[in-house]
Amino acid sequence: MCGIIRASPDRSQIVTDTSLRAQLIDLFRETGPAHHQAYRATDGADPDWPLWYAEYMQARLNGLLSTRLTRSELTYLLVLVEKERAAASPAAPWPDYYAEFFLNRYGAMAGQMPAAPPM
């Protein structure tokens, strides 16, 4: 992992990629068990888990990445990263894989959904 330093626009502190990666991994590690607890009656089974995850982590993820991801966009990204991870069958635990996915994409996407088309 490189040690590129990025300034957060809404904070005066500097965040390194390494510490941001660790914070993202922690957020994903926290979200999994929280979801399982919320769906304990079904042993954590929830075919719409990306919707729950997006609701649970949207504000914190946006804060970490300095983005403005909508719940719809975040839901899409969660589905995309899980499909990618399942196809790749990586050795890395899923929170680590997800953290890398978001780190590699947040700058280019800037967390912006395109404007709605005019009616």
Helix (H) or strand (E) holding 5: strand 5-7
Instruction: Report pLDDT digits (tens) over 7-51.
Output: 444 443 344 668 889 999 999 999 988 877 777 777 767 788 999
Helix (H) or strand (E) holding 40: none
Asked if 57 and 40 count as a contact pair (C-beta separation under 8 A), the reply is no
Query: Where along the chain do its domains lie?
Result: 12-109
Comparing 62 with 110, the larger pLDDT belongs to 62
Torsion of the alpha carbons at 91, 97, 100 and 105, rounded to the nearest 10? 130
Residue 6 burial (10 A CB sphere; 0-12, 13-18, 19+): middle
Instruction: Report pLDDT digits (tens) over 77-114.
Output: 999 999 999 999 989 999 999 999 999 998 444 434 45
pLDDT of 19: 86
